[in-house]
Structure 1
C-alpha cells in the first residue's frame, strides 16, 4: 500500500527479505525502483520508498474518531 503522497509504501517483510533490488509496479503499469527503508521480520512489515508523482495512496483513518469495537 502506498501510504503517503511522497512515495512511502508499506508491504510484507517476507516479500522483500534478501532482495538486492526491489521494483514496484502500480495498477496503471508505471514501474519504480524502490529503496527498502526498514523491515521487521517479527511483525512481517517493511517500508519502501519510491520517487514518483500523482501516486495513488491509501487514505488512513482518523484514530481520534474510532470507537470501541472498531479496528
Structure 2
C-alpha cells in the first residue's frame, strides 16, 4: 500500500507549506468521506476552508493506487 499523502496549502506569503490535514471540500471533491479518509490513514482538518487543486488531484491518484491493490 502506498504511503499516505501529506497535504500542502498556500501561506499568506503565497508559499507552499505543509497543512495539518485535508479540508472537507478536498475530500468531497475527491469522492471521500471523513470515515474513508481516516480508514486510509489520511489526515483530516475540519478547520481548513476551501480546496487546493493539487491536493485534490493527489488524493484521486492515491485512491486509484490503493483501490487497484484490492
Q: Normalised by the shorter chain, which TM-score bucket?
A: under 0.3
Between structure 1 and structure 2, the one with the greater Rg is: 1
Give TM-score scaled by structure 1 length: 0.23
Structure number with higher helix proportion: 2
